[in-house]
């Protein structure tokens, strides 16, 4: 029997049903809501799948219709959901998002005691990582439940044991835990990853006030091999060994919704690295990181043009044409 094709990308985390008012405005007086799917890790998996990578998403969901919506949505986009655990005793989480035409949207989570919050380290299975190349986690999952930090630690260690490279996006969610616990937990996970992908505000949250290069060096000193720092409207930068590289921002005229931009950035960056076999070799990083920063900045900016968390994610051909300044054929 021939071996299964390699899975490029595996991720672990909670996905939820997202409700948004129709028409756009305040939740308090909305007569109707649209329903879609959202979650940091599944957003990245969906983005990677559209870019042509074979992806696998691991989670716990309730045994309810919301879970069916999430499973069918991801599977329909080509994401492997065969390792998702279904829980008869806990529900699938939901969240609401309202945009009032100014500033970032307000987000309200209803994920306490959700199925994903019941995750524990004993749930980690070696088959999650079989025939896979890369594992991605965020700082959201450790905040979900009593045992979810230990779950993430065990999963990162198991992935490393099986030879996968590991990326970690802190994806700070202040509503989910105290600042002290968040800081200590996120810092403790950096030594377990190869690629650390914070935003500038998250770096400041973790380490206080420093220069951009000082942030990157500090995270390298903690054990990461590559640090990718998101700089907002200034673009992004990366540091590995003694090399520092910058990526120019992709300019957009206006912002519709910032939610999901960081996940799109992660998908764009990692998709380029995973075009190569020896992802972390210095020679590969020297040639791949500049292209990866450009694609990541482009995808992060494009994500701000759509209300959904991932629905506007481009295909590989579309993003390559945009980066090259070409017009996609539309009719």
Catalytic residues: 263
Which of these, 33, 30, 39, lies nearest to 20 by C-alpha position? 33
Structural contact between residues 136 and 169, judged by C-beta atoms closer than 8 angstroms? yes
Where in 15-147 does DSSP place strands (E)? 16-22, 32-38, 55-58, 60-62, 79-80, 85-87, 94-98, 106-110, 132-138
Cα 252–Cα 258–Cα 262 angle in degrees, nearest 5: 95
Residues 6+ apart with CB under 8 A from 229: 198, 199, 200, 203, 212, 215, 216, 236, 237, 238, 239
Structural contact between residues 51 and 77, judged by C-beta atoms closer than 8 angstroms? no
Place of tokens 């008869």: 88
């Amino acid at each position: 029997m021939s071996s299964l094709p390699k899975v490029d990308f595996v991720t672990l985390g909670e996905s939820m049903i997202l409700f948004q008012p129709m028409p756009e405005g305040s939740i308090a007086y909305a007569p109707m809501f649209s329903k879609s799917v959202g979650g940091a890790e599944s957003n990245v998996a969906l983005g990677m799948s559209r870019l042509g990578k074979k992806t696998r998403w691991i989670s716990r969901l309730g045994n309810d219709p919301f879970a069916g919506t999430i499973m069918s949505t991801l599977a329909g986009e080509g994401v492997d959901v065969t390792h998702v655990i279904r829980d008869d005793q806990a529900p699938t989480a939901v969240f609401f998002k309202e945009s009032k035409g100014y500033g970032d949207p307000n987000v309200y989570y209803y994920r306490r005691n959700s199925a994903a919050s019941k995750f524990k380290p004993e749930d980690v299975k070696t088959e999650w990582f079989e025939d896979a190349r890369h594992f991605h986690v965020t700082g959201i999952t450790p905040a979900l439940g009593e045992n979810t930090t230990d779950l993430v630690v065990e999963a990162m260690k198991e992935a490393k044991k099986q030879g996968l490279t590991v990326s970690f996006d802190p994806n700070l969610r202040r509503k989910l835990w105290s600042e002290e616990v968040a800081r200590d937990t996120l810092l403790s996970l950096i030594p377990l990853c190869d690629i650390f992908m914070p935003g500038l505000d998250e770096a400041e949250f973790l380490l206080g006030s420093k220069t951009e290069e000082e942030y990157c060096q500090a995270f390298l000193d903690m054990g990461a091999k590559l640090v990718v720092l998101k700089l907002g409207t200034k673009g992004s930068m990366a540091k590995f060994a003694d090399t520092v590289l910058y990526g120019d921002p992709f300019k957009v005229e206006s912002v519709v919704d910032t939610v999901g931009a960081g996940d799109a950035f992660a998908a764009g960056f990692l998709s380029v690295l995973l075009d190569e076999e020896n992802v972390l070799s210095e020679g590969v990083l020297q040639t791949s990181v500049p292209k990866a920063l450009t694609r990541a900045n482009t995808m992060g900016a494009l994500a701000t043009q759509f209300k959904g968390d991932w629905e506007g994610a481009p295909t590989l051909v579309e993003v390559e044409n945009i980066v090259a300044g070409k017009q996609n054929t539309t009719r």
